Amino acid sequence: MTQVVDIPAAFRDGFARARLLDAGLAERYARHLSLGDPLADAAVAAAATARQRPWIRIGLDQGLAGLDDAPQALRDLFAHATDVPYWFTQSRTLPGCRAFHGNSRMFLAAFVAGSLVEAYSTLIAKAFITSGRLGDQAGRRFRQNNQLLSEIFLPGGLGEFGEGWKMALRIRLMHARLRLLTARSADWNHEDWGTPLSAAHIAFMNAALSGRLLERARVLGVELFPEERRAFMMIWRMAGHLTGVPAELLPRHEIEAQQLFRIGRMMEPPPEIEGIVLANGLINSAPMAAGVDDPDLRRRLVRQLYGISRGLIGGDLATALHFPETRGMDTLTAIRLRNRADLLLRRHIGFYDRRRRAGQFTQLLDLSFEGLDTGLPQAAAEDELPA
């Protein structure tokens, strides 16, 4: 068994606990806390020195065919993105696409109030904020991840030049650029926190949005067939491949994703101010991102989301994030009962199911594209980086 020698200080106490649960995975995860994404990091650096042409945009639109004269680092990145792994079959993802869009409201609730809050309560939040591009980070993270959800769960979305394929690569490049900006900041302590937006944290986020999201949706009453769950995980496995998750940390199935999430969560230090700000911002920005203008309705929705979140993430983490006291379990019970009734209607009344799916899909698109830019900071979108 390989011994981990150099663990960033903030993770050492958690590593000791995680190693008792799964020593091999804990050590693999710990090694990746000091690693970035070599392909994307090199591509962003190369794009900064080759500003005469918008190579990233060309690669997203044309793939390798349009990059004959591009820097080798950019060609390497897009060669990786266009090399379809042996385990991915587009047709086998269709049950997952149908399951997601048939339950998109509950997946969105589990996504915002559960998985995203848990992910951004970690040192991931510190990397986003230390990059110097604070702005509306919570709203941006919500819309960006929501767009990724909507795109990868469209049939064909993860095929080459599909919108999910493009969005995953945009997010990968955005992470590389923020990694560069954060690493340059005097406020980032490498010895304590490792590499900003490390390979381990990108894998943790993938696990949060795959196996952990399935688990959270189940708590809200979403019941999927085994084939649908396998397809859901295949979609996220491919999305993880495209966003730069190392093969050693890319979950093959739901159980592996949940175990990776547990290990990553155990290794994190308690939430710091950046995580508290970003987690609360996610809850408060969701109604605004949904286009709710009425202040009273917005406040009611925020209270409900806080209740759902407390029920999903547990009282200890909710309190550490300074969430208001709410009756989280009562909220979850009511939602589960409603979803069970809804499931009976869907399974026995075909028209109801078709109409419901269409309505949820439209709502998901509205949430994804309302006020959303390309998902890359302007300089990165234009293949430019500050000196």
Per-residue model confidence as pLDDT tens digits over 271-312: 999 999 999 998 988 887 777 788 898 888 888 889 889 989
The predicted pLDDT at position 384 comes to 36
Which residue is it, tokens 């696990």? 207
In the DSSP assignment, the letter for residue 114 is I
**Distance between CA atoms of residues 26 and 196, nearest Å:** 19
Q: Which of 245-249, 280-284, 374-378 has the lowest mean pLDDT?
A: 374-378
Q: What is the pLDDT of residue 319?
A: 96
Phi-psi region of 194 (alpha: psi -120 to 50; beta: other; left: phi over 0): left
> Residue 283: CB partners within 8 Å, gap ≥ 6?
112, 113, 117, 302, 305, 306, 309, 323
**The pLDDT value given to residue 4:** 47
What is the pTM for the complete model shown? 0.85
Q: What is the mean pLDDT of residues 121-138?
A: 77
Q: How far is residue 107 from each of residues 38, 113, 266, 290, 351, measured CA to CA in Å?
A: 32, 10, 24, 15, 22
> What average pLDDT does the chain have?
84
Q: What is the pLDDT of residue 183?
A: 84
- Asked whether residue 367 carries a pLDDT value surpassing 60, the answer given is no
Question: Residues 82-93: pLDDT tens digits?
Answer: 999 999 999 999
